[in-house]
Amino acid sequence: MATQIVMDHTGDGRHFFDQTDPEGLARAERRFRKLTGQGFTAATRTPSGDLNIVRTFDPTADELFYPRLVGG
C-alpha cells in the first residue's frame, strides 16, 4: 500500500492506495496531476531520509506534497 501525504495550511492529509487496484491507482495519479498542476511540489524520501523531488507519478513511491511558498 502506498501513501500520498498532502501538506497544507490545516496540517497534512493522507491518501492510501493499493498499487494493484486500477481504480485506486487512477485516483492517485489524478491527485498527483491535480496537486502538481496547482503548484504543489511532489517529493519522495530516500533511504537516508533526504527528500527527492519527483516530476512524474510513481505508483510504488510514498509521495509528499508541499504547497508553493508564498512570501509577503
pLDDT tens for 18-48 read 999 999 999 999 999 999 999 999 999 989 9
- CA distances (Å), 31 to each of 47, 64, 72, in order? 24, 12, 28
Q: Categorize the per-residue pLDDT at 10 as very low, low, confident or very high, splitting at 50, 70 and 90.
A: confident
Neighbours of 58 (CB within 10 A): 14
Contacts of 26 (CB under 8 A, 6+ apart): none
| 37: DSSP letter | H
5, 11 Cβ separation under 8 angstroms: no
Checking if the pLDDT of 2 tops 80, the result is yes
